[in-house]
Amino acid sequence: MAQNEKLAELSSAGVAVWLDDLSRDRIRSGNLQSLVDEYSVVGVTTNPTIFAAAISGSDSYDDQLHALAVRKVSVEEALRTITASDVRDACDLLAPVAQRQPGDGRVSLEVAPGLAHDTDATAAEAAHLWWLVDRPNLFIKIPATEAGLPAITTSIARGISVNVTLIFSLERYRAVMDAYLAGLEQRLAEDADADLSGIASVASFFVSRVDTEIDKRLEKAGAEQLKGKAALANAQLAYQAYEEVFSSDRWKALEAKGAHPQRPLWASTGVKNPEYADTLYVSELIAPGTVNTMPEKTMKAYADHGSPGTPVQKTYDDAAATMKAIADAGVDLDDVFRVLEDEGVQKFVDSWDELTESVRTQLEDKA
């Protein structure tokens, strides 16, 4: 099948197209392979909400759930086994992509969200999931909480590739990049001849949720003219920070040892406000060396009628002015980002709890 021209052009501009969804049905039906063949998809991201929807809405898991029930495994072990199975199969499907494009062909699996504020438990869970899936094109998702930062460093130092998730602020994004570089440096400190070329990372900078929260506050402040601008400006300034860090002498020393840059990944790119263009967070975030992980609906909208906006590297001055205007309007940005992180963790915890209860019920039914 021919590649969609609009998405192929997006890829040529340096934006890797990843699908923000996964299910056993997608893999078995050939749907995921068709998205690779026709829509330039070169990666997949998952989260607890995605798995909750996949498992509760399909009978494709019945045989495995029955086998797990007969073995009388715990709910926690069943959850790990089921999600790891899907991710492993998706990694195998995308392995040819990973061979052609080593930074892509990746599938992400998230540590249990309830561990988000426990450094040691997060690092231990990351190591276990890395062992359990056992595929070189796996990413372990670790949240960018304060407790998550040292777990990122530890995981990278152990040679585990990491997708850092739930990044909302520039300050935290800089801390994430530092955690990545520190992990590479720690690996070299432990073994000066260590090969860094097998380690990869992306930093998932969330987009649409920023507009959702800030727009509410702009309405209260009587500054409606600034609505719909914060998310893009925030992400554009994040790319500026990325360019700064990954052109530094500190980075060049690691690059000389075979290290790969930690790519910015635009997450939460499905538009939540129907007043905004449905391709807004794709068209206006085009920059070399980035990833855009999209819901299928957003991906197909861009394939149908998307068009490139202003390249990110030409937006920095306007983006800085926009964020200043929002702050001057009375929006407490530090509070915004704190609320978004807390809500982001809680949403995943709620989804994980829902998934846990669903699996528990099904294990009992199939025992």
The distance of Cα 42 from the centroid of its chain, to the nearest Å, equals 14
Amino acid 237 reads L
Distance from C-alpha of 102 to C-alpha of 96, rounded to nearest angstrom: 10
User: Do strands 106-110 and 15-19 pair parallel, antiparallel, or not at all (unpaired)?
Assistant: unpaired
User: Angle CA(184)–CA(186)–CA(188) in degrees, nearest 5?
Assistant: 75
Count other Cβ atoms within 10 Å, centred on residue 311: 15
Active site residue 272: no
**Per-residue 3-state assignment (H helix, E strand, C coil) for 313-343:** HHCHHHHHHHHHHHHHCCCCHHHHHHHHHHH
Distance from C-alpha of 136 to C-alpha of 67, rounded to nearest angstrom: 27
Catalytic option among 141, 229, 272, 324: 141
CA quadruple 277, 280, 282, 285: dihedral, nearest 10: 160
The distance of Cα 297 from the centroid of its chain, to the nearest Å, equals 17
Active-site residue numbers? Answer: 141
